Amino acid sequence: MTQTEIDGLLAEGIRLFNNGYFFEAHEVLEQAWKVAEGTDKIFYQGIIQAAAALVHVRRGNYTGAISVYLKSRPKLYRFPAVWMGIDLGQFRSELTRYFAAVQAALATTGENCQPSRPERIPGTKQVPTIRWAP
């Protein structure tokens, strides 16, 4: 796979992610992850895990969402604020805010919400997005 093709997968994965298609973003980004090497592989894995965590929230699985998010965190935090053209600092900040709300809801209720109603979680109406760095 050429670098241009890999870059295209990243761009498509980000487009899907930002449109709320987290599972589909995961699938596209996984193609890039499979051919990536070294730190790029870790970077892709972090974003893929963040997407998977948001899939869990959508399905009402708070516990699974937090577990997968916590796996993504160290991978995403090992990179500078801008990486591969992405404003990673902004993305990490939005993920932290979002999953703090999910953790708070889980701690308060001790239950998972209904899969069809993840919007019931206070503080999660603004879903994290991935932005290109200026």
pLDDT at 14 over 50: yes
CA 59/CA 75 separation, integer angstroms:
24
Sequence spans of domains, the chain: 3-120
59-80 pLDDT, tens digit each: 888 889 999 999 999 999 999 9
Quick one: pLDDT at residue 116? Answer: 40
The CATH code of the domain at 3-120 is 1.10.3450.10
Quick one: pLDDT at residue 20? Answer: 96
Quick one: pLDDT at residue 115? Answer: 42
Quick one: pLDDT at residue 117? Answer: 57
CA 28/CA 22 separation, integer angstroms:
10
In this structure, which amino acid lies at residue 68?
Answer: V
pTM over 0.85: yes
DSSP assignments along the chain, one per residue: --HHHHHHHHHHHHHHHHTT-HHHHHHHHHHHHHH--HHHHHHHHHHHHHHHHHHHHHTT-HHHHHHHHHHHHHHHHTS-SEETTEEHHHHHHHHHHHHHHHHHHHHHH-SPPPTT-GGGSTT-SS-----B--
25-69 pLDDT, tens digit each: 999 999 999 999 999 999 999 999 999 999 999 888 888 999 999
Beta bridge partners of 83: 86
| 130: nearest Cα among 42, 13, 38 | 13
92-126 pLDDT, tens digit each: 999 999 999 888 877 776 655 544 455 667 777 78
Positive or negative CA dihedral for 34, 38, 40, 46? positive
